[in-house]
Structure 1
Amino acid sequence: MNEHRPEDPAPLSDEPPSDAPLSDEPPRRRLDAGSLRGLAHPLRMRLLDELRLNGPATSARLSERTGESTGTVSWHLRHLAEHGFIEEESGRGTKRERWWRAVRGAIVLAATDFDQDPAARAALSVYQAENLRRQYQRVADSMAADWPGEWHGTGSVADWSNLRLTPAQLQALIDELAAVVARHTPDPDAAPDPAARPVIVQIQALPRKDPDQP
């Protein structure tokens, strides 16, 4: 199973899962064993999400948002920086108050890269479980929110579980869905529409176990 996490400067964006970037797209980073172990921790994944979704922040601000101590947050931020997921925002802050921002670029994970690496597979399990938990939590938070005006009742959660596809057809479906999202992704350099809000788009397209097949 492959996973693709878009870069999330506000607004939220998505990109096709291909590893070959187009000329006008930010770079993609395919996780290797070292970078996977550097990211595969629930708090580090949450901190990276906070910086991607909500923009640059200090350890003190991130401590308030996560409920973790400033010292703990600072330690994990340094770990993320060492692995190249975040960087210090130049020209902002002081020696005692550093501002951090997410490094631009999508994160791509191919689980098959770690088939022969038992040590990395433990980190892979942590990463996948936390990624799925956070995806579920975003949906749950949105459904529980009291949305005002025309936003009330918008959104959709759908499930198509009766398709029968070959591996090639499944990949073609994933690529087409990602291309549709990309067409609706606003230009990050354009002036934002004041009526627009950040929107969650999650796509899960996975084979389902069939009791009549091996």
Structure 2
Amino acid sequence: MTEPRDRQVRNLDARSLRGLAHPLRMQLLRALRQDGPATASLLAERLGESSGATSYHLRQLAAHGFVEDAPERGKGRERWWRAADGGISFDSGLLTDADPDTRGAADTFLHEVASTHARELATWVGTREDWQPAWAQATDMSDWTLRLTPDRAQELIDRMHELLQSYRDEDDAPGAERVRVHTHTFPISTDSERSR
């Protein structure tokens, strides 16, 4: 069961970022968003962690408003958790925050996002033969190098996000699967630029 698509995207501030920027917390939140409500024990089994660790980090996520109880799922003393929002928006200004703890949390957050993208892509490459042949033709691992100003790069990002948003409601068709789309837009230096 997946989370409803109408949940709001949460904008991270310095306090909430510091509460989230831990690899296991980010994995727990991602699991709840992608797979729906679960208990600490179920999440521990899925992620290869102890239930004590998942319980602790779920409580920390709850203290910062990222997860909440899912009482409709509980039986007896079982505590079920669900994601409290539909996604996260990261403000790059957090990378230059005056507080070194916030800057460190921003760095941890970005590294974990990059690591997750790499793991997801490697999983697809390793399991691609498990999917119907049509999926082999409907995947993409391309890269482009463009010359853009920061304003044009932001315009590109906004247009890509707008396009992706327009596909959110098309997943009820027969044969539809959940599809992960990673976008990365960042500057690079070439050897000739470094020598100038």
Alignment TM-score, normalising by the size of structure 2? 0.88
Contact 2:10 2:85 in 1 (8 A): no
Whole-Å separation in 2 of the counterparts to 1:148 and 1:95 = 41
Q: Structure 2 counterpart of 1:84, which letter?
A: G
List alignment gaps of at least 5 residues for structure 2.
Answer: none
Cα deviation digits, residues 114-170 of structure 1 (max 9, x gap): 412212111111111111000111111111112134224430111101x11111111
SS of residue matched to 2:59: helix
State the match for 2:64 in structure 1. 83
Answering whether residue 181 of structure 2 is matched by residue 201 of structure 1, we say yes
CA distance in 2, matches of 1:174, 1:114: 19
Question: How much has 1:95 moved relative to structure 2?
Answer: 5.1
Aligned pairs for 1:78-117 within 5 A: 78-94=59-75, 96-115=77-96, 116-117=98-99
Structure-1 separation of matches of 2:125 and 2:3: 21
Aligned-partner Cα distance in 2 for 1:99–1:27: 21
What residue is the counterpart of 2:132 in the other structure?
148
Q: CA deviation at 1:64?
A: 0.8
2:73 match: secondary structure: strand
Show the 5 A alignment for 1:4-153.
Answer: 9=2, 26-94=7-75, 96-115=77-96, 116-145=98-127, 146=129, 147-153=131-137
Output the CA distance in 2 between the equivalents of 1:90 and 1:99. 7
How far off its partner does 1:37 sit?
1.1
* Residues in 2 aligned to 1:55 and 1:176: alpha-carbon distance in whole angstroms: 29
Query: Cα RMSD over matched residues?
Result: 2.1
Higher normalized helix content (fraction of residues): 2
Deviation at 1:208, TM superposition (A): 1.6
2:90 aligned counterpart, secondary structure: strand
Aligned residue pairs total: 190
Greater Cα shift, 104-113 or 200-209: 104-113
- Tell me: CA distance 1:50–1:151, structure 2 relative to 1, closer, same or farther (3 Å): same
Identity %: 40
Q: Which residue of 1 aligns with 2:169?
A: 186
Cα offset for 1:72? Answer: 1.0
**Structure 1 95/74 Cα, relative in aligned 2: closer, same or farther at 3 Å?**
farther
Q: Is the 8 A contact 1:59 1:73 kept in 2?
A: yes
- Of 141, 157, 166, 1:157 maps to 141
3-state DSSP of counterpart to 2:158: helix
- Mapped to 1, the partners of 2:53 and 2:70 lie a distance apart of 20
Indicate the structure whose relative CO is greater, using CA pairs within 8 Å and at least 6 residues apart.
1
- 1:160 & 1:128 partners in 2: Cα distance? 21
Q: What TM-score do you get using the length of structure 1 for normalisation?
A: 0.81
Structure 1 alignment gaps of length 5 or more: 1-8, 14-24
Tell me if the contact between 1:41 and 1:126 (Cα under 8 Å) persists in the aligned partners.
yes
CA–CA separation in structure 1 for the residues paired with 2:33 and 2:7? 14
